[in-house]
Protein backbone atom coordinates (compact mmCIF):
# COMPACT_ATOMS: atom_id res chain seq x y z
CA UNK A 1 0.00 0.00 0.00
CA UNK A 2 1.27 3.56 -0.67
CA UNK A 3 2.97 5.53 2.09
CA UNK A 4 0.79 8.25 3.61
CA UNK A 5 2.71 11.34 4.78
CA UNK A 6 1.77 12.58 8.23
CA UNK A 7 1.36 16.34 8.07
CA UNK A 8 -0.09 16.91 11.54
CA UNK A 9 1.12 19.45 14.06
CA UNK A 10 3.90 18.36 16.39
CA UNK A 11 3.01 20.43 19.42
CA UNK A 12 1.50 18.00 21.90
CA UNK A 13 -0.82 20.41 23.66
CA UNK A 14 -2.63 21.19 20.38
CA UNK A 15 -3.88 17.64 19.78
CA UNK A 16 -6.65 16.05 21.78
CA UNK A 17 -5.52 12.71 23.22
CA UNK A 18 -8.48 11.83 25.47
CA UNK A 19 -6.01 10.79 28.20
CA UNK A 20 -4.65 7.92 26.15
CA UNK A 21 -1.51 6.10 27.18
CA UNK A 22 1.73 5.43 25.30
CA UNK A 23 4.40 2.87 26.16
CA UNK A 24 7.92 4.05 25.32
CA UNK A 25 9.97 0.88 24.80
CA UNK A 26 13.78 1.00 24.88
CA UNK A 27 15.81 -2.16 24.10
CA UNK A 28 19.19 -1.89 25.76
CA UNK A 29 22.49 -3.80 25.65
CA UNK A 30 25.66 -2.79 27.51
CA UNK A 31 24.75 0.92 27.82
CA UNK A 32 27.45 3.55 28.32
CA UNK A 33 28.18 5.02 31.74
CA UNK A 34 25.64 7.60 32.86
CA UNK A 35 23.00 6.47 30.38
CA UNK A 36 20.31 6.42 33.05
CA UNK A 37 20.58 10.18 33.58
CA UNK A 38 20.17 10.81 29.84
CA UNK A 39 17.09 8.55 29.72
CA UNK A 40 15.43 10.32 32.65
CA UNK A 41 16.19 13.74 31.14
CA UNK A 42 14.83 12.89 27.66
CA UNK A 43 11.81 11.08 29.10
CA UNK A 44 10.81 14.06 31.26
CA UNK A 45 11.18 16.42 28.29
CA UNK A 46 8.74 14.21 26.37
CA UNK A 47 6.31 14.13 29.30
CA UNK A 48 6.36 17.91 29.57
CA UNK A 49 5.70 18.30 25.84
CA UNK A 50 2.69 15.97 26.03
CA UNK A 51 1.07 16.56 29.46
CA UNK A 52 -2.25 15.07 28.33
CA UNK A 53 -0.72 11.66 27.62
CA UNK A 54 0.08 9.04 30.26
CA UNK A 55 3.53 7.71 29.37
CA UNK A 56 4.90 4.38 30.60
CA UNK A 57 8.58 3.56 30.16
CA UNK A 58 9.64 -0.02 29.44
CA UNK A 59 13.37 -0.75 29.35
CA UNK A 60 14.43 -4.19 28.15
CA UNK A 61 17.91 -5.22 29.29
CA UNK A 62 18.97 -7.63 26.55
CA UNK A 63 21.42 -9.63 28.68
CA UNK A 64 23.81 -6.75 29.37
CA UNK A 65 27.13 -7.48 31.06
CA UNK A 66 27.18 -4.02 32.64
CA UNK A 67 25.04 -0.91 32.93
CA UNK A 68 22.25 -2.34 35.10
CA UNK A 69 23.90 -2.31 38.51
CA UNK A 70 21.66 -1.69 41.51
CA UNK A 71 22.40 2.08 41.78
CA UNK A 72 21.49 2.50 38.10
CA UNK A 73 18.19 0.64 38.46
CA UNK A 74 17.40 2.48 41.71
CA UNK A 75 17.99 5.83 39.99
CA UNK A 76 15.59 4.96 37.17
CA UNK A 77 12.87 3.67 39.49
CA UNK A 78 13.19 6.68 41.80
CA UNK A 79 12.95 9.27 39.02
CA UNK A 80 10.34 7.66 36.75
CA UNK A 81 7.02 6.67 38.30
CA UNK A 82 5.61 4.48 35.54
CA UNK A 83 8.50 2.21 34.61
CA UNK A 84 9.12 -1.46 33.87
CA UNK A 85 12.59 -2.94 33.62
CA UNK A 86 12.76 -6.36 31.98
CA UNK A 87 16.09 -8.13 32.42
CA UNK A 88 16.79 -11.01 30.03
CA UNK A 89 19.27 -13.66 31.12
CA UNK A 90 21.25 -13.59 27.84
CA UNK A 91 21.69 -11.42 24.78
CA UNK A 92 19.25 -12.20 21.95
CA UNK A 93 19.13 -9.06 19.82
CA UNK A 94 17.01 -5.97 19.26
CA UNK A 95 14.05 -7.78 17.68
CA UNK A 96 13.75 -10.31 20.47
CA UNK A 97 14.06 -7.63 23.15
CA UNK A 98 11.39 -5.49 21.49
CA UNK A 99 8.93 -8.39 21.27
CA UNK A 100 9.48 -9.09 24.97
CA UNK A 101 8.80 -5.45 25.82
CA UNK A 102 5.81 -4.99 23.53
CA UNK A 103 4.23 -8.22 24.81
CA UNK A 104 4.12 -7.03 28.43
CA UNK A 105 2.98 -3.46 27.69
CA UNK A 106 -0.72 -2.63 27.67
CA UNK A 107 -0.86 1.04 26.63
CA UNK A 108 -3.10 2.30 23.85
CA UNK A 109 -0.04 2.81 21.62
CA UNK A 110 3.65 1.95 21.63
CA UNK A 111 6.70 3.89 20.48
CA UNK A 112 10.08 2.21 20.41
CA UNK A 113 13.53 3.67 19.88
CA UNK A 114 17.14 3.23 21.00
CA UNK A 115 17.95 3.34 24.70
CA UNK A 116 19.52 6.81 24.56
CA UNK A 117 16.42 8.26 22.84
CA UNK A 118 18.62 9.75 20.09
CA UNK A 119 15.92 11.60 18.13
CA UNK A 120 14.87 15.20 18.57
CA UNK A 121 11.75 16.11 20.53
CA UNK A 122 10.18 17.28 17.27
CA UNK A 123 10.82 13.87 15.70
CA UNK A 124 9.33 12.00 18.67
CA UNK A 125 6.34 14.34 18.67
CA UNK A 126 5.71 13.77 14.96
CA UNK A 127 5.41 10.02 15.56
CA UNK A 128 3.11 10.51 18.55
CA UNK A 129 0.99 12.97 16.59
CA UNK A 130 0.54 10.47 13.75
CA UNK A 131 -0.58 7.79 16.21
CA UNK A 132 -3.09 10.10 17.85
CA UNK A 133 -4.54 10.84 14.42
CA UNK A 134 -5.30 7.17 13.83
CA UNK A 135 -2.20 5.63 12.27
CA UNK A 136 -1.77 1.89 12.85
CA UNK A 137 1.96 2.11 12.14
CA UNK A 138 4.34 5.06 11.79
CA UNK A 139 7.42 4.38 9.63
CA UNK A 140 9.70 7.42 9.94
CA UNK A 141 12.16 8.36 7.23
CA UNK A 142 15.64 9.61 8.06
CA UNK A 143 16.93 12.77 6.41
CA UNK A 144 20.08 13.22 4.33
CA UNK A 145 21.64 14.92 7.35
CA UNK A 146 21.04 11.71 9.35
CA UNK A 147 22.73 9.71 6.60
CA UNK A 148 25.81 11.92 6.83
CA UNK A 149 26.00 11.27 10.59
CA UNK A 150 26.34 7.52 10.06
CA UNK A 151 29.79 5.83 10.11
CA UNK A 152 30.83 4.93 6.55
CA UNK A 153 30.18 1.20 6.90
CA UNK A 154 26.71 1.69 8.39
CA UNK A 155 25.97 4.21 5.66
CA UNK A 156 26.78 1.60 2.99
CA UNK A 157 24.54 -0.98 4.67
CA UNK A 158 21.74 1.57 4.97
CA UNK A 159 21.93 2.39 1.27
CA UNK A 160 21.97 -1.29 0.35
CA UNK A 161 18.82 -1.90 2.39
CA UNK A 162 17.12 1.08 0.73
CA UNK A 163 18.03 -0.30 -2.69
CA UNK A 164 16.58 -3.70 -1.79
CA UNK A 165 13.41 -2.08 -0.44
CA UNK A 166 12.85 -0.20 -3.68
CA UNK A 167 13.96 -2.68 -6.36
CA UNK A 168 13.57 -6.14 -4.80
CA UNK A 169 10.76 -5.82 -2.28
CA UNK A 170 8.89 -3.00 -4.08
CA UNK A 171 8.16 -1.33 -0.77
CA UNK A 172 6.68 2.19 -0.76
CA UNK A 173 8.97 2.91 2.23
CA UNK A 174 12.61 3.01 1.15
CA UNK A 175 13.82 3.66 4.70
CA UNK A 176 12.80 0.82 7.02
CA UNK A 177 15.79 0.90 9.37
CA UNK A 178 15.18 4.09 11.32
CA UNK A 179 15.38 3.18 14.99
CA UNK A 180 12.07 4.86 15.80
CA UNK A 181 8.63 3.38 15.10
CA UNK A 182 5.07 4.00 16.29
CA UNK A 183 2.53 1.23 16.79
CA UNK A 184 -1.21 1.30 17.24
CA UNK A 185 -3.01 -1.85 18.41
CA UNK A 186 -3.00 -3.42 14.94
CA UNK A 187 0.65 -2.55 14.46
CA UNK A 188 1.47 -4.15 17.80
CA UNK A 189 -0.07 -7.44 16.62
CA UNK A 190 2.01 -7.39 13.43
CA UNK A 191 5.26 -6.77 15.33
CA UNK A 192 4.59 -9.61 17.76
CA UNK A 193 4.39 -11.92 14.75
CA UNK A 194 7.90 -11.10 13.53
CA UNK A 195 10.74 -13.59 13.98
CA UNK A 196 14.07 -11.87 13.32
CA UNK A 197 15.92 -11.24 16.60
CA UNK A 198 18.44 -8.65 15.40
CA UNK A 199 18.46 -5.14 13.89
CA UNK A 200 16.64 -6.26 10.74
CA UNK A 201 13.47 -6.82 12.78
CA UNK A 202 12.42 -3.36 11.52
CA UNK A 203 12.76 -4.58 7.96
CA UNK A 204 10.71 -7.70 8.58
CA UNK A 205 8.08 -5.70 10.45
CA UNK A 206 7.56 -3.12 7.70
CA UNK A 207 7.62 -5.78 4.98
CA UNK A 208 4.91 -7.83 6.70
CA UNK A 209 2.83 -4.75 7.50
CA UNK A 210 2.98 -3.52 3.90
CA UNK A 211 1.30 -6.76 2.77
CA UNK A 212 -1.80 -6.00 4.92
CA UNK A 213 -4.01 -3.65 2.93
CA UNK A 214 -6.27 -2.77 5.89
CA UNK A 215 -3.47 -1.14 7.89
CA UNK A 216 -3.07 2.63 7.89
CA UNK A 217 0.68 3.16 7.61
CA UNK A 218 2.02 6.71 7.62
CA UNK A 219 5.49 8.17 7.27
CA UNK A 220 7.15 11.31 8.64
CA UNK A 221 10.64 12.85 8.58
CA UNK A 222 12.86 12.56 11.64
CA UNK A 223 16.22 13.94 12.80
CA UNK A 224 18.87 12.88 15.29
CA UNK A 225 19.82 15.12 18.19
CA UNK A 226 23.00 17.02 17.33
CA UNK A 227 24.94 15.53 20.24
CA UNK A 228 24.39 11.91 19.16
CA UNK A 229 27.33 9.85 17.87
CA UNK A 230 26.41 6.57 16.17
CA UNK A 231 28.77 3.57 16.58
CA UNK A 232 29.87 1.36 13.69
CA UNK A 233 28.77 -2.25 13.26
CA UNK A 234 31.14 -5.11 14.09
CA UNK A 235 31.87 -7.79 11.47
CA UNK A 236 29.88 -10.36 13.45
CA UNK A 237 26.80 -8.11 13.43
CA UNK A 238 27.20 -7.52 9.69
CA UNK A 239 27.41 -11.27 9.04
CA UNK A 240 24.27 -11.91 11.12
CA UNK A 241 22.40 -9.21 9.24
CA UNK A 242 23.54 -10.65 5.90
CA UNK A 243 22.08 -14.03 6.90
CA UNK A 244 18.85 -12.31 7.91
CA UNK A 245 18.75 -10.58 4.52
CA UNK A 246 18.82 -14.01 2.88
CA UNK A 247 15.98 -15.15 5.12
CA UNK A 248 13.97 -12.07 4.14
CA UNK A 249 14.54 -12.82 0.45
CA UNK A 250 13.38 -16.37 1.09
CA UNK A 251 10.23 -15.01 2.74
CA UNK A 252 9.48 -12.79 -0.26
CA UNK A 253 10.06 -15.61 -2.76
CA UNK A 254 7.85 -18.05 -0.83
CA UNK A 255 5.16 -15.40 -0.48
CA UNK A 256 5.28 -14.77 -4.24
CA UNK A 257 5.16 -18.49 -5.06
CA UNK A 258 2.22 -18.90 -2.68
CA UNK A 259 0.34 -16.15 -4.51
CA UNK A 260 1.08 -17.78 -7.89
CA UNK A 261 -0.16 -21.15 -6.63
CA UNK A 262 -3.37 -19.55 -5.35
CA UNK A 263 -4.03 -17.88 -8.70
CA UNK A 264 -3.37 -21.12 -10.60
CA UNK A 265 -5.65 -23.04 -8.25
CA UNK A 266 -8.45 -20.51 -8.77
CA UNK A 267 -8.02 -20.72 -12.56
CA UNK A 268 -8.30 -24.54 -12.45
CA UNK A 269 -11.37 -24.34 -10.23
CA UNK A 270 -13.14 -21.96 -12.60
CA UNK A 271 -12.12 -24.09 -15.57
Q: Which helix (H) or strand (E) holds 221?
A: strand 221-222
Distance CA 102, CA 115 (A): 15
CA 71 – CA 68 distance, rounded (Å) = 8
Residues 6+ apart with CB under 8 A from 220: 5, 6, 126, 127, 130, 138, 140, 141
* H-state helical runs in the chain: 35-49, 70-79, 94-104, 121-132, 144-149, 152-163, 185-192, 201-210, 235-270
Asked whether residue 154 carries a pLDDT value surpassing 70, the answer given is no
pLDDT, the chain, mean: 83
Euclidean distance between CA atoms 154 and 158, whole angstroms: 6
Tell me the sheet residues that pair with 141: 221
Query: For residues 143 and 146, what is the distance between their CA atoms, to the nearest angstrom?
Result: 5
Q: Identify which has the larger pLDDT, 126 or 146.
A: 126
Q: Return d(Cα 97, Cα 68) in angstroms, integer.
A: 15
pLDDT over 70, % of the chain: 72
Contact yes or no for 224/118 (Cβ under 8 A): yes
- Report pLDDT for 121: 96
Q: Over the stretch 3-40, which tens digit does the pLDDT of each residue have?
A: 555 544 444 444 555 679 999 999 999 999 999 999 99
Amino acid sequence: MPAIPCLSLVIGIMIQSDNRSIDLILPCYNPHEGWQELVVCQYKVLEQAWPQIQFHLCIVDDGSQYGFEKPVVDFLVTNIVHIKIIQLSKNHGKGYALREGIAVCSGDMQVYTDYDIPYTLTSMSKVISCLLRGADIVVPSRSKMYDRQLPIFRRCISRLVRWCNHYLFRLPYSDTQAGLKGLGRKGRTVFLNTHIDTYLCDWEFVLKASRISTLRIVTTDIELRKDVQLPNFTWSICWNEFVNCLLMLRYVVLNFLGSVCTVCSNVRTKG
